[in-house]
Structure 1
């Protein structure tokens, strides 16, 4: 009979684990203050009535606050009637894949992509096909060829043009224009994941702005402000299209945002707390990037706002052996092959999420372990 560890032992093991495998913004004191202020705000309002019923696509106030926030990227004021609130980007993608791609269809994505898109595609009986990428992201010629090869079965493109996960690449404006033209030519819907897009001080306009009639722009707060606030937003081509995609699922799925979370998210966006947190996250990211560069003894040639690093292993060190060696030292990274879609681009690489470590000492200690194993092989 196997020995079952007690709760204390499990807690200690969990507490000692350094998890670079997940990717969240670094913790900043402003978040704690914002949460406390939010509860104070809620006690001074009739919150019981405000959260009494499901908010489905969000209240008018929710959507207006979201529109103002998304306007930071979409430029100008977004139309609140084209915005829906959800409990995370995965929930949004589930509804979009089910409606547009459907079983038997093909969803195109970068050859390296957000790992959660894989089980989502399997869930809906959708074929996932990777498109070649370079230092800017999707290569237009490869996208055009994939669309032609699938002869109409390729129905949508899921991509992350700004601070791509895992490479941190940022697609140029010229490249975005080319991708938009190809999508039009092949009648391809675009699911643009801009979850990190608000982090850079300056970035090209979203891909969605180059083909708005077929684009679904996805953003949220858990990757830019705080992982505690799982609120996501999607802006679609029109109000009627939003209703067609999302409204039928209100009685059969769980994509809707929890009313209390929506209330807090809208308060953060409306009160200026969100911008204060965003600026703090940018500052803390810089500190953590500096620590990483000190520990690794090199500069990372990516946008300063990126808090995830894409690192190449030295020749001769297998990814599996490297990941196992880290596990033996209670440390986890994002294995590169988990991001790959029909490619070998991740076979000798891994991602480090700098934001999850509780503090800078833990971050430095974990990075030193990673660096030490790599150095031992060079």
Structure 2
């Protein structure tokens, strides 16, 4: 059996186990049966099971055979929650924090306590936020080249909620939306939950393949496109001006809604104009303060054409009714007094320092990243399997994500994403050294 056929068999069995087609406790064929059924040498069949065992997918029991293991990862090893195990070095999630942010919150709470507005904050708020708060966001976005009125801005409960509101308001089950073949995992989960059909746009190291995207639009009734033009997660690209203009041209030709995710855009200085500025009549812009300020500050915002505002407000009402008044008051005060801009500047410097450290430790490995981002995409060599890398790093007390949560194609590349923003610099160096050792040991 050629190496590619051997890898295909491992991939096929791994996919069947992950999908539940082969459930926990299923007895697999013996090594001899597997070899005979697939035309393998016995040693090769044994190697297939050995790789599945190394991924944590199967276990061999002496005298009984090979069985499918429970594949649910321990707490903190999936995409849905941060690591909880003591001592785990988290390269899975980004929740960047800077010294002094706790004091900023303490001061903000004191100032809020002295204000005369507390009684109002205890009541229900307008679904899209109070108009003066929406105006604060509009002024902040104007510094990014976004010309939007307060009436076009809606307050939401974080950027993830903003994405949910946009998809719920503008699309219906069965609608077709295009997205990069590797894309933000939170979008993927939302699209599945809302029963949208997601068509993958092939990706390159510098952006989506827009010629392939146009062919998709010619062949299928695409309603919308989800994109991250300014600091793509997980690949780290920033689309150039010509690429953005090309995407807008396609969207206008086929009458598509553009959903622009700008959660990490604050990390890029002097970025090209956002899509919402190039095509304001069809773009819904989503961002928030979770990364630029703190993940616990669940305040986000959506900018949309006036004709979509009522539908978006209904989706906010159906999901959270309104953003908590206390959180919004703190967030907009920080927008107005320059605190958010200061934190964004400091986090740009922090991300650059972390990327510089990663360059030192990972030099020679074929990773993709933007020098101002908080993450790295590390493709693995042909013989190295992402699940195996993740399992070995878990045993070394390092949590990483494989490509699976980000992939919307049947074929999932063997790669890992490293989030750099959740541990201190000393711990980050230690974790990256472990990543390098494991990848090189398996390669």
Instruction: Give the match for residue 211 of structure 2.
Output: 141
Instruction: Give the match for residue 314 of structure 2.
Output: 248
Distance 1:140 1:17, change over 3 A: same
User: In structure 1, how many angstroms separate the alpha carbons of the residues matched to 2:191 and 2:322?
Assistant: 20
Q: Is the 8 A contact 1:61 1:266 kept in 2?
A: no
TM-aligned CA deviation for residue 337 of structure 1:
2.3
TM-aligned CA deviation for residue 281 of structure 1:
0.9
Which digits, 9 at most, give the CA deviation of each residue in 1:225-265, with x for residues without a partner?
22222211111012x4212x222235432263211110111
State which of 308, 323, 337 in structure 2 corresponds to 1:257: 323
User: In structure 1, how many angstroms separate the alpha carbons of the residues matched to 2:317 and 2:187?
Assistant: 24
Show the 5 A alignment for 1:161-310.
161-238=229-306, 240-243=307-310, 245-254=311-320, 256-298=322-364, 302-310=369-377
Q: Is the 8 A contact 2:168 2:315 kept in 1?
A: no
Mean Cα deviation higher: 62-71 or 46-55: 46-55
Larger CA Rg, structure 1 vs 2: 2
State which of 346, 369, 373 in structure 1 corresponds to 2:434: 369
Which digits, 9 at most, give the CA deviation of each residue in 1:160-185, with x for residues without a partner?
01110100011111111111011111
**1:58 is aligned to 2:129:** yes
Aligned residue for 1:73, secondary structure, equals coil
Instruction: Give the match for residue 383 of structure 2.
Output: 316
Instruction: Give the match for residue 351 of structure 1.
Output: 417
TM-aligned CA deviation for residue 292 of structure 1:
1.4
State which of 100, 109, 116 in structure 2 corresponds to 1:39: 109
Q: Is the 8 A contact 1:30 1:276 kept in 2?
A: no
State which of 92, 96, 105 in structure 2 corresponds to 1:21: 92
Count of equivalent residues: 359
User: In structure 1, how many angstroms separate the alpha carbons of the residues matched to 2:179 and 2:316?
Assistant: 27
Mean Cα deviation higher: 294-303 or 33-42: 294-303
TM-aligned CA deviation for residue 99 of structure 1:
2.6
Distance 1:194 1:251, change over 3 A: closer
Mean Cα deviation higher: 225-234 or 185-194: 225-234
Q: Which consecutive segments of 4 or more residues in structure 1 shift more than 3 A? A: 298-303
Q: Is the 8 A contact 2:156 2:316 kept in 1?
A: no
What TM-score, normalized to structure 2? 0.77
Higher relative contact order (CA 8 A, sep 6+): 1
Q: Is the 8 A contact 1:86 1:255 kept in 2?
A: no
Aligned residue for 2:416, secondary structure, equals strand
TM-aligned CA deviation for residue 343 of structure 1:
5.5
What TM-score, normalized to structure 1? 0.90
**1:333 is aligned to 2:413:** no
User: In structure 2, how many angstroms separate the alpha carbons of the residues matched to 1:255 and 1:144?
Assistant: 38
User: In structure 2, how many angstroms separate the alpha carbons of the residues matched to 1:302 and 1:121?
Assistant: 26
Q: Which runs of 5+ in 1 are unaligned?
A: 1-11
RMSD: 1.9
User: In structure 2, how many angstroms separate the alpha carbons of the residues matched to 1:122 and 1:298?
Assistant: 37
User: In structure 1, how many angstroms separate the alpha carbons of the residues matched to 2:372 and 2:338?
Assistant: 20
Distance 1:191 1:259, change over 3 A: same
TM-aligned CA deviation for residue 197 of structure 1:
1.0
Distance 1:67 1:301, change over 3 A: same
Instruction: Give the match for residue 9 of structure 2.
Output: none
User: In structure 2, how many angstroms separate the alpha carbons of the residues matched to 1:254 and 1:192?
Assistant: 22
